[in-house]
Structure 1
Amino acid sequence: MNSLSEFGRFISDRTEWIADRWNKTTEGQPELAFSGNTTYQQLANYLPTLCQDLGKRLAKAGKPRRNNKKRSADTQPQHLWEPGYTLDKIVRGLGQIRQIISVDCLDAFARELPEFHASARTNTETVIHQFFNDLLVESAQQFAAEKEKELAGSEQNSQSILDSALDCIIVIGDDGRVQEWNIAAERLFGYSRAQALGKEMADLIIPRELRARHRAGMAQYRATGEGSLLGRRIEMPALRSDGSRVEIELAITPYLVNEKAVFTAYVRDISERVRSDARRAAQYAIAALISGQAPLIELGPKILSTIARSGRWLFAALWVLDKNGKLVCHSTWRSPERDIDEFESETRRRVFSSGEGLPGRVLVSRAPTWLPNLEAETNFPRALFARMSGLQAAFVFPLMGSIGINGVIELYSDEVVPPDDDLLRLAGALGIQVGLYLERERTEEELRRQKEVAVMASQAKDRFLAALSHELRTPLNPVLMWACSASEDKNVNPEMQQGLKMICRNIEMEARLIDDLLDLTRIARGKLQMNLQPCRADALLNHALEIVRSQLFVKNLRLSVDLTASNHQIMADPTRIEQVFWNLLKNAYKFTPENGEVVVRSYDAAPDRVIFEVSDSGRGIDAEVMPKLFTAFEQGTRSGEGLGLGLAICKAVLEMHQGKIKAANKTSGQGAVFTVELKTVPALSVIAPIERKPAAVSPRKLNILIVEDHDNTATVMSKLLRHNGHEVVTASTVRQALEVLHTTPLDLLVSDLGLPDGNGFQVMRELAKISDAKGIAISGYGMEEDLERSSRAGFSAHLTKPIDVQKLQETIQQVTAAA
């Protein structure tokens, strides 16, 4: 987009609007409005042409240069004023029109075109000012020519031109001394014409650090006739008579008079624009700073530096509201140009309550406060230190969040600074930006703290569950081992065998409840392991039925099984899928009254899907429970039976198998229906149903050390292993175990991990140093990290209590066979 051309069309289309604004401007100047059909009328008649000419000038200036050729000089049709005009009224009228176009029109154009940025506006202002300067020069030339005819070259003409110029015009000789100084220069720099004439311009308005460069440039022109800054518009700081600085735009044109160089300097005050640009840049910079993730300790000084450098501030401080409602100094910034150590130290050690000091005052008022003269302040505890540091004025503004004030920023200057409305508006915007950042920082810190608390609570829960698991498993271990072993003894009468098998089943059920607690933790941490392999889902279901069949018999429940699906082959973790079926069957017999019915069936769904249904004739699922049925610790009825973990675990396990589970009440009659959907795989080969085979006994006699501090477990385990023909030695502490290691040849170590004077890892590491014997870890702790620690210590296997005899014998066979 060519903004210059666009603005040219904009003013050309709004000639009537510009004329109307100018008419309103002249209402308070009757000497111009009632000057008859002369100056005012000529300006009014010329205004449409002026707008068109300016539009053409803007369009031409906006065209890109081609072939690196310099742009041809800007020209415009010369306008000749009719007799009867006065030059000062022409100058005043043109100045008013220029003000309307360069301010009001540009503001309106910027509102309609958001992409009209600051640099484009500066370029546009430059073209406008040059156009009017050219028009003034033409008018002055016409006026001078007319007067020259009348007054025969009176010098009064040129002085009138200089005095009526809108910009400063300074004429300098080749020695750098001032030869002419117009009224605009008097107003801007504070020197009268008489004071300025004959003085070197470098000493009058050029800052000390730039004077050497200025004088070198003058010398270069005298020597070569060339100058790097001549014929260009540059922006630079300048000095006023009172020592204060002003930002100016400077253009210097050289010419020869009597073969000597003379320079005309055109100067325009751009302080407002430069200050406004710096402040807007600061606002954007701060927005960029606080949009990231850097903490306040890092951003605080950067925020203060950005704000302070947008103006002539020497010191800045950021105060943050703490949880006790007091303002604490968080960060400071100071200019390297001034020694402000004492004031900075005093600021950093201060804490202000509501209403106390400048920060406390703003905390109460919640509004920016301008303090042009600190000497007059009574509520300023740091006044002595401010005086020592040469600080005279301050500006303090609040940092507002969504629910109140979050802090305060102070700015200090060594000048008595008058109030600045633009800075007040900027402070409002910056205060909200930084205030919301402080609020976000505080919220994130609280979230981090709460996360740490939650993590600690989760870790404490995991430790509790692990300890609970250990304490529940340990006393079950000897009972399960003895009962399972005795139930296989052919010398025990059948009734006793059935009773022992019932004990084994119930201990296994208790162990499964403990596993549910640990599985829930594994699922929450994403550490539930799956051992996928080809298997038959109907075989897994039948095995789960065998486990619960006796419970169905006790309640006299009818069991109907109809597995008609054409393909039951799946790729799954058999133990986990069996766990799903067992949970559903357990729920069915739990919630079905005596003499009820449990129905299990399978059927085909999609070509690669099989459906299993488990339904009962119980009371069904309460309507308010249905939406949260698969949530941990929720139960299907208000009976309060069980932990409410089984269905949550079922859902997680099935989702890990790309399966689904649904629950509903029967459409006819009482009862609930649970539907499991699993993905099938092609039946490439026949997979035998999973059966529990008799325990394999190690074919050779082994020397085994059992390290166990639970007497009943040690006694039962040693008897069972001796019964299988092994030589067994027991120890209940690490010290006893180490004595056996160094005195007895061993084939196998079976060790508990938690021991009174140490742990089983120590025993295993010592065994590995002196022997190739294998080790089996036995523990009530069964989390993944427990298994990993056992493996790192050198154990070949890790069994979690309670352990049945078959599992122990199978593991001994596997471990010693590998040896």
Structure 2
Amino acid sequence: MQWSLSQVELEYYRYENNLLMAQESPEDSLDELRRSFDVFFSRIRIVKSGDAYSSIHDEPQIAEALNSVSTYLESAARLMDGDDQTLVAALPTLLSNARALHAQLRAISLRGIMVSAARSDQQREDISHTLLRLAAGTLFLIFALTALLLWLIHLTRLNARREQQLKRSSQQTEAIVATSLDAVIVANRCGQIIEFNGAAEQIFGYARAEAIGQPMQELIIPDDLRARHKGAMERYLRTGEKRFLGAGRIRLRAKRKSGAVFPVEVSVSSVLAGKDEIFVSYIRDITKSLEHEEALQRARDDALVGERAKTQFLAVMSHEMRTPLNGLLGTLELMDDTALTPQQRKYLDTMRVSGRLLLHHVNDVLQISRSDSGTETLSEAPFDIDTTVAEIVESQRALAHRNGNIIRTERIGALPRAVSGDERKLRQILLNLVGNAVKFTTDGTITIEIERVGQIRGAAMIEFRVIDSGIGIAEADLTRIFDDFVTLDTTYGRRAEGTGLGLGIARRYAEAMGGEIGVESEEGEGCAFWLRVPLTEVTKAAATEPAQVPVPRVAAKPLDILIVEDNEINRFVLRELLHKMGHRVDEAHNGRDGVNKAASRHYDVIFMDVSMPQMDGFEATHAIRSGNGPSHATRIVAVTAHALPTEVALFEAAGMNDWVIKPVSRQKLQALFGAPPTATARKATGAAPRTLDHDALQELRDSLPEGSFAKLLRGFMEETDAAIAALPDRVSASETPEVVSLIHQTAGACGTFGAERLRKALSGIETRCKAGETVEIDGKLSPIWNETREALQPQL
């Protein structure tokens, strides 16, 4: 473009030169003039309209110059294309006008060259920048490629390490599988075995080569389980439902090569191996384990039988021994009021001390048997801590002074005065600890410290510490001091007599109350026994008042009494007993009828049977208490065949004030109403039940109108015949509640008619059912009833 612009001015000079020559010799120069004009005209046309020159068209000076030159050339072109004479005549004007264009042409050439040069510079600069960016991009690409290369090297090394790890892991897994004591069997989705380790060879008797490729269900699964296994696999493959997969170890049966079936523990899991799913089974032969378990179970059962026998023996013997001991001590008290010689009184004192000590030992053994049998329950009532401790201190003060001891109490920190808990058990624990401290301390100090040491489940944790300055306990004996029947062979054992059960009972009581007991001591330096028990804080007013205001015993005067009982015989017997005692009696045949009668008039006492159809005794009592009838505050006595501790709590929760166990006798009613019993007390409950209680039967006969006894007895025998025949082989409170109700009614009737052995058996079944057990009767009651029926026949 620069060359073309410079040629514009050159072509102009040629054209101007030809104009001069044409004026001097027109004949020879006109053709040359026209040719130079055409070249000049073409050059201007290219500069003005060519795309290559578009960059200089925006320059105002060049655009104006091009327009002027183009105007001149357009006018000159008409002359150039005309005749020679006209052209010769116009030559002076063309030359003059051409010379006037010299400045414009000069401007076009110079300005165009400048613009072209600037554009070239810009292009070079752009190319330079492009080259720089290209160089930077190239460097970045080289860096990225280098980094990628390094990363690929790293990945290659990492993959190599992983491959080595996988190889080692695979080798370890193979070694583990090969040396595993459990059989490891791997099968594919079709059930074919693809791995069979050494333990599997030993357990099932197949060589690995024999097992590989064989269907697992045909090889190791017993015939009676194959269909079940096949169905489970088809269900899993079809629906994905898992029952055995991932369920941990389950017990099944498996089959050896010999065909023998044996118990195994199996754990099955599934693993994806590429796109295929495989199943891994871990199988353990538990034949010997089950034999050991059965042996342990038998040993445990034998131990439990022995323990129960021991506990029962202790309980029976304690009861049987306590009865004559109480009679013996009572007789000694009576003898003390008679005229005795000094020697006889000395003998009497010795007998009394020995008798009381023996009774104390018997009571300790009885208490241990109760605790171990699980019949010991906790009571919950408000009491004052300071009052309880003060009474204990006062009871031991005389003996402490006799041994030259000072006994005192210290409260540490803020303590709740009023708490709720089992005061009787707390009192016995503290009395035992303080009593021991008094016995084994001489001319010393005994301190009872009380401190609150924390909070647990909304209750205050109270610590009682009994600290003495006595003889102390050897370190070797600290771990066994709370065991049963432990009496130390050192000075501790020679200072006082005892069974060694006191601290064992204290430990049991502390644990039953949710606390703990312990001791710190050094021989010759005294002891510090501590007891921590949780006690619920209550207001002072609640502690000073009784936990439940007892309903006063009814005076021995004619009363209006309502009997709510669904059994006609029991209702008749109770009514006749009350009539003979001079009371007025109304009857209700079920709980709903009883609620209606209690709402219609006032009764002094309501006897409420616990188990009745339509509405039981609990519901009826709740309905009476929650209503506004005349008897809503009447004393209600629960009548039941037997009363477990949990049931007594239910009686109280329902609003019942008292309870009486069937058979209801005149003595029980007199004791209930506060009158002195007229008959001898019943025999100890620990004795084996007799088939027939003739005393109770005779008492019933004496209580009924003449002629009624035989009729009622026949009705009882007929009802019991039907009840025993209707009992199924298995009884459960959740599955057959109507049968449990029938058992309860029959037990109550048996108690009324002195069928003691059958009543005991029925009550035992009812108790186990209420505890959630399913009891197997299986005809065990029929022989007892047949024997009872034969014993009752002579009474008709």
Q: TM-score range by the shorter chain?
A: 0.3 to 0.5
Structure 2-normalised TM-score? 0.36
Larger radius of gyration: 2
Which is helix-richer, 1 or 2?
2
TM-score calculated relative to the size of structure 1: 0.35
